[in-house]
Amino acid sequence: MPAQLISGRDIAATIREEIRERVAALKESAGRVPGLATVLVGDDPASQLYVGMKKKAALAAGIHSQQIQLPGDTPQDELLGVVHGLNANPEIHGILVQLPLPDHIDEQAVLVAVDPAKDVDGFHPVNVGKLSTGALDVLAPCTPWGVVQMLLRTGNDPSGKHVVVVGRSNIVGRPMASLLLRRGRGGDATVTVAHSRTPDLPRVTREADILIVAVGRPDTVTADMVKPGAVVIDVGTNRVDAPDTERGYRVVGDVDFEAVKEVAGWITPVPGGVGPMTIAMLLSNTVDAFTASLDRD
């Protein structure tokens, strides 16, 4: 029997409706709403699209949205000044600097400049450190946090399961492992992190009750690499040539979907799987940052 599909679109829609209700309740009780600021440097079309999607989603949830677009030749000091201004702005509770930044700007210097309490991307070293030590009151990176929600909301609680994460990036692989290792709901898993230097990768992946793949390479995981009945989460987004299509390409994940779905118990499609969860968790982090600020006031 083919695997059951895990629809990120459906789960994200549910979360966004929950967020809309949370924001409405906060507006009623606190008289204010969360604020999200996005900063875009340059005119990269993909980045403009992503920022526009985030703004639209924020407004639909009732979140105040401020979008700042700067020229591609903006000096680093000027960008840092914008970030510091947002840090001091009481109407802004979440700050997102869209990556990648132009080559003349030190990305790490900019990410570190964001107030950790407003770091809704979860990339600030303070938040990375808190997550790695198992803290629960932390703004976690949106994509891996979204994966945890997908598992919980489909009845695939990782507690007590062997989870293999293929990929060790700072954006997905490493924080994914940290989230799964935490005590409590959504954690308590036994985690193996595999990567390009892992010997006999198929042997490792076949041991997984839950297999999460985030390497950025099409068809990395094939059917013979998956334990029958396993949950397979495909974080990859890759463009492959498809001359027969109108766009000339199609979007695929890191998993050979058609073959693996015949072996797995659950599987995420690409597109429509993990992708929609990222914006949903960005909004969730923004609301969490807002409620934390109320507690500090």
Residue 129's SS3 state is: helix
The mean pLDDT of 82-103, rounded to a whole number, is 96
Confidence of residue 44 (pLDDT cuts 50, 70, 90): confident
Per-residue pLDDT at 1 exceeds 80: no
Residue 296, pLDDT above cutoff 90: no
Q: For residue range 188-223, list pLDDT tens digits in order.
A: 999 999 999 999 999 999 999 999 999 999 999 999
3-state secondary structure of 162: strand
Cβ neighbours for 241, distance < 8 A, ≥ 6 positions apart: 248, 249
Alpha helices in 120-200 (DSSP H): 125-132, 142-153, 173-181
Helix (H) or strand (E) segment spanning residue 10: helix 8-30
The pLDDT score that the predictor gives to residue 241 is 87
Tokens representing 170 are 């700072």
Span 146-172, average pLDDT: 98
pLDDT at 243: 87
The residues annotated with a catalytic role in the active site are 54, 98, 121
The residue ranges of DSSP E strands in 137-292, in sequence order, are 162-166, 190-194, 210-213, 231-234, 238-241, 249-252, 266-267
Domains in the chain (CATH in brackets) are 31-115 (3.40.50.10860), 141-275 (3.40.50.720)
What pLDDT score does 285 carry? Answer: 98
Do you know the residue count of the chain? 297
pLDDT at 138 over 80: yes
Angle, CA 116 vertex, CA 112 and CA 117 arms, to 5°:
155
Model-level pTM?
A: 0.95
